[in-house]
Amino acid sequence: MQRYSAFSLFSEALRGHTGWERAWRSPEPGGFYDIIIVGAGGHGLATAYYLAKNHAARSIAVLEKGWLGGGNTGRNTTIIRSNYLQDDSAAIYEKARSLYESLSQELNLNLMFSPRGVMMLAQTHHEARGYIRIANANQYQGIETEYIPPSRVKELCPIISIDGPRYPILGALWQPRGGTARHDAVAWGYARACCSLGVDIIENCEVTGINRDAGGVTGVTTTKGDIGCKKLGIVVAGHSGKLASMAGFRLPIESVALQALVSEPVKPCLDVVVMANTVHGYISQSDKGELVIGGGADGYNNYTQRGSFLHIEETVRALVETFPIISRLRMLRQWGGIVDMTGDRSPILSKTPVPGIFVNCGWGTGGFKSIPGSGWAMAELITLGEPGHLAAPFGLERFREGRFIDESVAAGVAH
């Protein structure tokens, strides 16, 4: 695989950019693979990459019904943070965040990882107490976060109104090493790296059935024919329930729409990520100058990739109150993604009732930040057939055993 570098860019410029190769191969499916991953979103591609890289798996295919990265991975607002309360969540999200730090170099593609700092505003006393508790928990977990007063909030983010009439800002949970990255590039980077390790990534190939016998999974039926496998990883976010029903089991998942929007581009005015969870809105500024905005998820089942106007209005209202300076900005684009919400709002990385089938789903409104850690843990789970320490707490059995991961900060709000 061709390597990208300043030198290759320079020499290609001299010959009119005629010598670039495809970023990844586009093969026809083979008849059989040791491991098939369904879904070429960030989590599916990262799983395939770490299977090949960490576990020397060589016969892997990733099947994608549309185009690579066209699901939630290409639709999110790219916030990366790891300031969770529970040790189990903190471990996997921090693993992911720390992998992001050197991922551009590792994948040889600029992911535009920008650890500009993430600020979560406390706008009620209850929220303030919650964030102080998280800051304390993070200290024990070795994750650098801090609870900061309103004066510091204003210093870090001058355009914010700290004494709004309804929800004045009481403080914030500040993670200086959180930030954003370019979401498409994460999918493309993993795809390229997978490809150079021999993984077949097959786009426009929808899985329509899962084949099994008494011993477990034997393969899948797709729009490009039947493909056999020894192990199957289902990594399809909002469509997990559909794939599970093909395999004959159910999941504790409901699929709902989550939306985002961007404004017209303006001069730099915001160089941190700000999240306001009480009023349901969060915001950052892209390199192009657009304000990238998100809010709450719809409350009802939906597969249309469109959400309700209700929530856009709610989000925009909340942000105008928090940042009065943006009140006359026009919005350019708005879109939705179908997110997979579990009963305790924490993800699932698990074996399933069918031998050989593994699921990775339930990241809901907040799984962009976790892509590298999730792929890492999922590769371990598929290889060993048992979860390692990162995945172990996230098994499906927790819903039967009542052993939930009570991560209240993840509840229903996008991040």
Ligand X SMILES: Cc1cc2nc3c(=O)[nH]c(=O)nc-3n(C[C@H](O)[C@H](O)[C@H](O)COP(=O)(O)OP(=O)(O)OC[C@H]3O[C@@H](n4cnc5c(N)ncnc54)[C@H](O)[C@@H]3O)c2cc1C
What does the binding site for ligand X look like in residue numbers (CB under 6 A)?
38-44, 63-66, 70-73, 75-79, 206-207, 235-237, 239, 243, 258-260, 294, 337, 339, 363, 365-369, 414-415
Q: How far is the CB of 259 from ligand X (least distance, A)?
A: 5
At 43, give phi and psi (nearest 5°): -70, -40
Q: How far is the CB of 27 from other proteins (least distance, A)?
A: 29
Question: What is the contact mask toward other proteins in residues 376 to 415, using x (rule: CB under 8 A)?
Answer: -----------------------xxxx-------------
Start-to-end C-alpha separation, the chain:
34
Q: How far is the CB of 33 from ligand X (least distance, A)?
A: 14
Nearer to other proteins, 22 or 403 (CB): 403
Q: How far is the CB of 165 from ligand X (least distance, A)?
A: 28
When binding is defined by CB under 8 A, the residue of 150, 265, 289, 299 that contacts other proteins is 299
**What's the maximum distance between 2 C-alpha atoms anywhere in the chain?**
64
Q: Look at residue 396 and give its three-state secondary structure.
A: coil
**Burial level of 21, CB count in 10 A (0-12/13-18/19+)?**
exposed
Q: What CA dihedral angle connects 193, 92, 340 and 355, to 10 degrees?
A: 80
Site for other proteins in 225-284 (CB under 8 A): 239, 241-242, 250-255
Strand-pairing partners, residue 348, are 361
Q: Which does 400 bind (CB under 5 to 8 A by kind): ligand X, other proteins, none?
A: other proteins
At 273, give phi and psi (nearest 5°): -95, 130
Nearest residue to the partner ligand X, using Cβ = 41
Q: Which does 188 bind (CB under 5 to 8 A by kind): ligand X, other proteins, none?
A: none
Give Cα 225 to chain centroid, integer Å: 30
- Give the type of residue at 292: V
Nearer to other proteins, 161 or 308 (CB): 308
Give the interface segment with other proteins, choosing from 106-114, 161-169, 297-305, 377-385 (CB under 8 A).
297-305
Nearer to ligand X, 206 or 226 (CB): 206
Q: Which does 303 bind (CB under 5 to 8 A by kind): other proteins, ligand X, none?
A: other proteins
Q: Is 302 in the site for other proteins (CB under 8 A)?
A: yes
Which residues, including other chains, have CB under 8 Å from residue 283's CB and lie 6 or more apart?
270, 273, 274, 291, 292, 293, 294, 319, 323
d(CA 40, CA 200): 11
- Residue 110 CA neighbour count, 13 Å, CB half: 6
Binding site for other proteins (CB under 8 A): 239, 241-242, 250-255, 298-304, 308-310, 342-343, 399-402
